Structure 1
Amino acid sequence: MAMTSNPMPHATWIWYPGDFEVWLGNQFNNRRTERGAMFPPFWKQDSHWPTVEFSTTVELAEAETIHIKAEGLFNFMLDGKLQFGMPDEFLIPAGAHRLNFKVWNQSTPPALFIKGMTIHSNSSWLATYEDKIWIDENGVAHGSGIYVPAAQWNFDRMDTPPSAYRLPTLRQEPVAQESIGEGMLYDFGRETFGYVRLSGLVGVAHLYYGESREEALDKDHCETLDVVSPHQELGSKAFRYVYVETADNSHYDSLSMDYEYAPYDESHSGTFACSDKLLNKIWEVGAYTMDLTTREFFLDGIKRDRWTWSGDAIQSYLMNYYLRFDTECVKRTIRQLRGKDPVTAHINTIMDYTFYWFKSILDYYQYTGDLTFISEMYPKMCTLMDYVLERTNSDGLVEGKADDWIFVDWVDFPMHKRGVLAFEQILFYKALMTMHTCATLLHQTDPYQQLAENVICKTRQLLWNDDCQAWEHAIEEGEINHQITKFPNMFAILYDIVDDATKRNIVDSVMENNKIDPITTPYMRFYELEALCMMGKQTQVLQEIRNYWGGMLREGATSFWEKYIPFEQGTEHLAMYGRPYGKSLCHAWGASPVYLLGRYFLGIQPTQPGYATWEARPYLADLEWMEGRVPTPNGIIHIRMERHYVCIRSDEGRGRLYLGNRCFDIEPHTDYHIPITSV
């Protein structure tokens, strides 16, 4: 359900905006374990506001009884007069009244549920965490707080408060089991996520989890394990294999799992199919990877980090818009990543991840048209941008400070990340332009466009090499590092900061230049292949998808990995971070084909926010046929393309279908069958 600022005809739980996400994110991010040790995130964790006031005004033709439920202790004032006790119900007299509820809860976000005949708690109510009331010598109260619309989601029953939120589970059995050594190895057939259940356990059992068979059997080096006693609840884990050993006189009857998943609406989901079975399998595994990494929030990898990372999340959002269109999970993740003021560090402590966070809000608006969310987040965008601007150098450019992590990517070639990186300036430019767009939408003062133009002008002056037709890497202590990498150059294409002729030159001089070091993570392959698609290189990209993601499938992948280097052999594919099984074999950024195939082969994207208008530029490449569905805020766009025709239908918005140098207007709720020979 979408959060809205409009009154709803029924009662729902309400809380202070962002508090549910901050609280839930703390539960979520602290579930990571490494070999039984709790492993909290690297960055500052905020808390919900412990005391929140909720208020509304009503005008009743006749008296009305309201039913009251709060998560926490509360007091209630009617027309400014404190009502004693914490009543379950209260009779509101006829007439005009103001209702104020102050709720305190240190453990979970203060939340409120009010239900009457006409009085219902929902996002038409106001909330504040600031109590600026003071009382003079006559006992008269003065002052107020800063009020914002209360937050809500789909907690619409009095007995299902926000703190009770849990993902559903489904019991599953292993597909195979094998006695090895002193224990039993269970295989669930593919990468999965959930809670292992040992039935009839007597004594103690040792569980060793593995995304691979090798990991589960390596008791000394597997990333996750459990020691379990009868009636002990195990935490969620990622695995395909589980190896179980029992101590002397210990035994159990059977092993199963409760598969945990984020529910979705199949009828409002994206699909893709084509004449190439390998591509169909790649899309299917990509979709499964996305489903595994879509939980209460979009996380990175289900085994190791299990955290929300902004750089991973922005790709998850884009893939999600072409798969499940779960906008609530997008908003939850954006809110959770941002946390609360004051800002004391970059998001996830990573400079580039701060810049991706800004852009993710603009992407969200383009795909949903939800201006209410932009209005909610804009004050936090401003304070985060203030933090960034306070740390710029004398040229107005960003460079890493001692407490900043400059990530860019995991690279397999020498590349320092010090000083003024061209890559970071290009991301900074896009963040400033996002601020400009949002300020314009909300009719706010806008210094950001000029700042953005200054950043890109100065970066071009310092780091653009006209002879090489490429952006050079960095400036450190006044010296130019002339290294050329794909990172700033492909983002210059993606963010449209150079003209078309220069883009073509960058493709020749950098993107298709074998002398430039290759990218080996799906993370940056996402952007590399998108940049090539934008330059009309879909046939080449399709083969890259077959080679790269098909390569993981040939290595036995059942979900896509954090990193893939084709020339690695055997268990080399499992190692990372100096650990034999450190690599995540189910990583959100591995699912790139879900987005690439929907956006650049089915060719569908909104051209006005929320698909008010949209376009389809299908690209068949070397395929005989392809078809798919792309979800939109209120429906589906379906398209099928063969060599000689295109069929298309949409549920909303006015579309334009582009075939060659011709275009066709597409009205909603109408089937179109367009011969390609007529183009």
Structure 2
Amino acid sequence: MNPPFFPIRLPNVLRTFQMLVALLLLLPFSLFPQSPPTGLRVDLIEHSDRVFIHGELSQLSLWEVESIIEPVQTAAVTNTRPVFSWEMGDTRPGIRQTAFQLQVDTAAFADGRTPLWDSGKRLTSRQQVAYGGSPLSPQTTYAYRVRLWNNRGESTPWSQPKAFRTGAELTPGGLATYPLQQMDEFVLLEKDIRPGLRFYDFGKAAFGRLKLTAATRSEDDTLIVRLGEVVTRHGRLDPEPGGSRRFREVKLPLRQGRHTYTLAIQKDARNTRPGAILMPDYIGDVYPFRYAEVEGEATVLQLSRETVIYPFDDLSSDFECADLVLNDIWDFCKYSIKATSFAGLYVDGDRERIPYEADAYINQLCHYGVEAEYTLARKTQSYLLFHPTWPTEWILSTVLMAWEDYLYTGNADFIARHYDDLQAKSLRSLTETNGLISTRTGKLTDSVLQSIHFEGGRLRDIVDWPHKGILGLSGDDSGETDGFVFTDYNAVVNAYHNRALQVMAKIAAALDKEADAAAYAAQAVAHREAFNRAFLDPEKGYYTDGIGTDHSSLHANMFALAFGLVPAERVATVTAFVQSRGMACSVYGSQHLLDAVYAGEEAAYGLSLLTSETDRGWAHAIYEVGTTISLEAWDNKYKPNQDWNHAWGAAPANIIPMRLMGVKPTRPGFATFQVKPQPADLAWARLRYPTIRGEIGVAFEQTPGERFALALTVPPNSEAEVWIPWAGASPRLMVNEQPAEYRRVRGFLVVAGVTPGGWRFVVE
């Protein structure tokens, strides 16, 4: 068992500064009217001008790259027609974009020079445009800039030019991604175990390599170095941590004098086999560890960890509330998303280092919850489209990922380019005469598998993972499926399928494929009716697992609730059954359980699940297990071979901002969004939430049943619909100290059309 994880929260001075900045955003007038655009991106890459050497961020500019002898890494733009986007820098209330002009050139826009491409002034509120000039050249540095016009008839100055560099090969729809970043992290705690043996704690686990500087007078001195993730109750590294938890011992021969050494990582056959994501040569292999022990007579002068991540902005989001446990859970899950990005794709942890669709879907939502970074999710989607995995539900998750990509970015490139593939991934080709789909009735032919790019083996229904009797579980262990009974027609598979049909209707509509949109919408309705005929038990009032069984699991019901399949008159009975089962699912299942609970507006139950201190909760992982990265399972006993670095266990990183605080886009690219906090009895909370249009700020304080106050910052060129939780009768709503109208929807007061700027809502 590891010692408790105490997250390093931002100093109070910095937090106070952030709050002052947030308050400035609520002022009626910007201090900098007509500010130039900010947050420029090319193909979703915000920091296209950064240069790395062996993965370490340098001070070089892109314009210097060709004169550098040492190999460098940059964010390579590989699209023949990259898409440029920006944020409005003008934060005055009500400001909207009415037009833009964007220029691209091979230099930094010298006066009098005609740019390579000029979009001209375009009358639109859209905050992105595809390149439309002469073909870009490979391995070339370009600059771009943009200026805007607003609804007051004002124009902004040009933005600061931002540079980007094209890759070695340009293709239509080519992806832009960052290189991996390597940085030195230093020991947080060190102590002597005994003479000649010293223990080091970096505070958190991470993927990297150990680097140490040692001095010796001997010509044949040796240090024994141990790395690991788990310590014993005696404060020593555990040499037998079990499962896929890591421990490694290395004998390090030393050279006479003072020298710096970087420990080489030996190849692991399991996570370097075909299908695994290999580390790039400029980084080399990495190993997950938090602790180190160094034994020997030589003097260790310095010890650090070369940590590897996909570039991550720690300060782009923040959450804090009255519940200290929930604060720790947020920090824990946010850090998990950062730490598990080490491979440059969303992978399933250290044991296999393989992308899986359901893992990636949760990882994507969590990443969107903590950072406005969209390229890693898109790169992973692109990989999984052509490297699918075996679970039926995972194939369907591909469609869900594609929609979230478009919804959060407003960039339709991916869904347009892969529309046919996404149609195949909806698995409507498996539809039987009863209106349901099945992988077990003969429809899963080779041609179907070929259409979804699946090679080798067959699809199998999974429901949740692990099942009983495998991966170290005995036949007496229940596994994580809540006793689900597998039949030819599976309620969970069909719930996923219905959600995929709903999403395909939206994707088709976004691409102006009106006939397809209507067809998918009709199929979703027909399938929903078939689903409820087949699986909804009219006597129980909730769902069975499949045709031919009367067993009802948590999963059959939570997925139906999460994906909007439950008839209005049955929501109460399904919700009651879901609550009766508790957290009878894996950490993967917790994402969908919490989605279901908050979709059913059961805020108190949702908060109890988030903050639970049972062995099926995140507090247990932090305080009892002692991990600093989210787990593959709730505890080692629930999956004995688990590793301690699985992003699919970090659901609160998206549930807190998107469900508890209630911030979700309702039109692509946050053109409009909803703020629907469901705080239960939480006294106060505040959130800084990054989006592609700029930061959303939400804070509330309440005395339940007496008063609820909400502060909101809406970014420029966006619009919010605010749902204020209030169950009392005859409420009086004040907005910016003025009486306001609202509509009543169940336990909420709804205010639509909330324009850019700072707002304060008070209901008593």
Answer yes or no: is 1:348 the counterpart of 2:395.
no
Q: Give the match for residue 270 of structure 1.
A: 317
Structure 1 position 151, deviation (Å):
2.2
* Cα deviation digits, residues 91-120 of structure 1 (max 9, x gap): xxxxxx99899xxxxxxxxxx3246999xx
CA contact (8 A) 1:170 1:259 kept: yes
Change (3 A) 1:309 1:181: farther
CA distance in structure 2 between the partners assigned to 1:315 and 1:506 by the alignment: 24
CA contact (8 A) 2:140 2:166 kept: no
User: Which of 292, 296, 300 pairs up with 1:242?
Assistant: 292
Instruction: In structure 1, give the amino acid aligned to 2:532.
Output: R
Q: CA deviation at 1:464?
A: 2.2
The residue that corresponds to 2:762 in the other structure is 675
- 1:210-249 paired onto structure 2 within 5 Å: 210-214=228-232, 216-219=237-240, 223-225=246-248, 227=250, 233-234=264-265, 235-243=285-293
Of the three residues 359, 370, 380, the one matched with 1:333 is 380
Give matches, 1:140-159, under 5 Å.
Answer: 149-151=172-174, 153=176
Structure 2 counterparts to residues 36-51 of structure 1, below 5 A: none
Q: Partner of 2:458 in structure 1? A: 403
Query: Greater shift after overlay, 408-417 or 363-372?
Result: 408-417
Q: Aligned pair in 2 of structure 1 residues 634, 168: CA closer, same or farther (>3 Å)? A: farther
| 1:265 CA drift (Å) | 3.6
2:714 is aligned with 1:650? yes
SS in 2 for 1:311: helix
Any unmatched runs of 5+ in structure 2? Answer: 1-40, 50-61, 64-74, 81-113, 117-132, 145-162, 254-260, 266-284, 445-456, 466-478, 727-743
| 2:579 corresponds to which of 512, 517, 522 | 512
Q: Mean alpha-carbon deviation: is it higher for 421-430 or for 228-237?
A: 228-237
Aligned with 1:562 (options 626, 631, 634): 631
* Residue of structure 2 equivalent to 1:614: 673
1:368 maps to which residue? 409
Distance 1:673 1:394, change over 3 A: closer
* Secondary structure in 1 matching 2:376: helix
State the 1:126 CA deviation: 14
Is 1:258 the counterpart of 2:306? The answer is: yes
Pick from 340, 344, 360 the counterpart of residue 313 of structure 1.
360
Q: 640, 648, 651: which is aligned to 1:592?
A: 651
**Structure 1 Cα separation of the partners of residues 166 and 302 of structure 2:** 51
Q: Measure the CA separation in 2 of the matches of 1:116 and 1:494.
A: 45
TM-fit CA distance, 1:297: 4.0
Q: Structure 1 pair 356/189, CA: closer, same or farther in 2 (3 Å)?
A: same
What SS class does the counterpart of residue 359 from structure 2 fall into? helix
User: What SS does structure 1 have at the residue aligned with 2:757?
Assistant: coil
For residue 565 of structure 2, give the secondary structure of its aligned residue in structure 1: coil
**Maintained 8 Å contact 1:14/1:113:** no
Deviations, residues 394-413 of structure 1 (Å, cap 9, x unaligned): 65512257622432212345
By how many angstroms is 1:358 displaced? 0.8
Whether the 8 Å CA contact 1:300–1:589 is kept in 2: the answer is no
SS of 1:199's partner is strand
Whole-angstrom CA distance in 2 between matches of 1:364 and 1:98: 28
The answer to whether 1:539 aligns with 2:586 is no
Alignment map for 1:620-635 (pairs within 5 Å): 620-635=679-694
Letter matched to residue 233 of structure 1: A
What is the alpha-carbon distance in structure 2 between the residues aligned to residue 676 and residue 220 of structure 1? Answer: 53
Instruction: Give me the whole-angstrom Cα distance separating, in 2, the residues matched to 1:373 and 1:213.
Output: 45
Q: Which whole-Å CA distance do the structure 1 matches of 2:545 and 2:752 have between them?
A: 44
CA spacing shift, 1:673–1:371, aligned 2, 3 Å = same
Deviations 1:412-446 (A, max 9, x none): 45435453211001101222332232223223462
What SS is found at the alignment partner of 1:481? coil
Do 1:192 and 1:239's aligned partners in 2 also have CA atoms closer than 8 Å?
yes
Counterpart CA distance in 2 for 1:536 and 1:124 is: 47
The 1-side partners of 2:135 and 2:166 are apart by 13
> 1:165-244 residue pairs with structure 2 within 5 A?
165-173=179-187, 175-179=189-193, 184-200=198-214, 207-214=225-232, 216-219=237-240, 223-225=246-248, 227=250, 233-234=264-265, 235-243=285-293
Q: Which of 420, 424, 430 lines up with 2:493 in the alignment?
A: 424
Task: Output the CA distance in 2 between the equivalents of 1:554 and 1:14.
Answer: 43
Within 1, Cα distance between the matches of 2:362 and 2:143? 44
What is the deviation of 1:484?
A: 0.6
SS at match of 1:437: helix
1: distance between equivalents of 2:295 and 2:222? 9
Aligned-partner SS, 2:570: helix
Aligned to 1:481: 549
The offset of 1:312, in angstroms, is: 1.3
In structure 2, give the amino acid aligned to 1:380.
D
Specify the alignment match of 2:540 in structure 1: 468
Point out where structure 1 has 5 or more consecutive residues left out of the alignment.
Answer: 18-63, 67-96, 102-111, 129-147, 156-164, 341-346, 566-572
Pairing partner for 1:457 from 506, 529, 536: 529
Tell me the secondary structure at the aligned position of residue 169 of structure 1. Answer: strand
C-alpha separation in 1, matches of 2:371 and 2:141: 32
Could you tell me whether the CA contact under 8 Å between 2:180 and 2:309 is conserved in 1? no
8 Å contact from structure 2 (residues 184, 304) kept in 1: no
Deviations along 1:575-604, one digit per CA (max 9) or x if unpaired, are 5654xxx32333212222222221222222
- Residue 237 of structure 1 aligns with an amino acid whose one-letter code is Y
In structure 2, what is the Cα distance between the partners aligned to 1:228 and 1:338? 43
- The correspondence of residues 8-47 of structure 1 with structure 2, limited to 5 A, is 13-15=76-78
> Counterpart amino acid of 1:470?
Y
Closer/same/farther in 2, CA of residues 656 and 625 from structure 1, 3 Å limit: same
Work out which of the residue numbers 503, 508, 512 in structure 2 matches 1:434.
Answer: 503
| Distance in 1, Cα, partners of 2:305 & 2:461 | 39
CA distance in 1, matches of 2:353, 2:324: 32
SS of the counterpart of 1:641? strand
Q: Between Structure 1 and Structure 2, how many residues are aligned?
A: 534
1: distance between equivalents of 2:228 and 2:638? 15
Q: Offset of 1:213 from its aligned partner? A: 0.7
The yes-or-no answer on 1:381 pairing with 2:422 is yes
> Using CA pairs below 8 Å that are at least 6 residues apart, which structure has the higher relative contact order?
2
Tell me how far 1:520 sits from its aligned partner.
4.2
Distance apart, 1:123 and its partner CA: 11
Distance in 1, Cα, partners of 2:554 & 2:665: 28
CA deviations over 1:440-494 (Å, ceiling 9, x no partner): 322346254444444433333322211111221124xxxx022111112112112
RMSD over aligned Cα, in angstroms?
4.0
SS of 1:605 mapped into structure 2: strand
Identity of aligned residues (%): 18
Cα drift, residue 236 of structure 1: 1.0
Separation in structure 1 between the aligned mates of residue 177 and residue 239 of structure 2, nearest angstrom: 44
Instruction: Write the distance in 2 (CA, Å) between the matches of 1:585 and 1:307.
Output: 15
Q: Distance in 1 between matches of 2:330 and 2:241?
A: 35
For residues 672 and 180 of structure 1, the distance between their equivalents in structure 2, rounded to whole angstroms, comes to 60
Q: Give, as a single letter, the amino acid of the residue that structure 2 aligns with 1:242.
A: A
* Aligned position for 1:39: none
Q: Would the alpha carbon gap of residues 199 and 429 (structure 1) be closer, same or farther in structure 2, given more than 3 Å must change?
A: same
Tell me the equivalent position of 1:135.
Answer: none
Match of 2:735 in 1: none
CA separation of 1:440 and 1:391: change in aligned 2, threshold 3 A: same
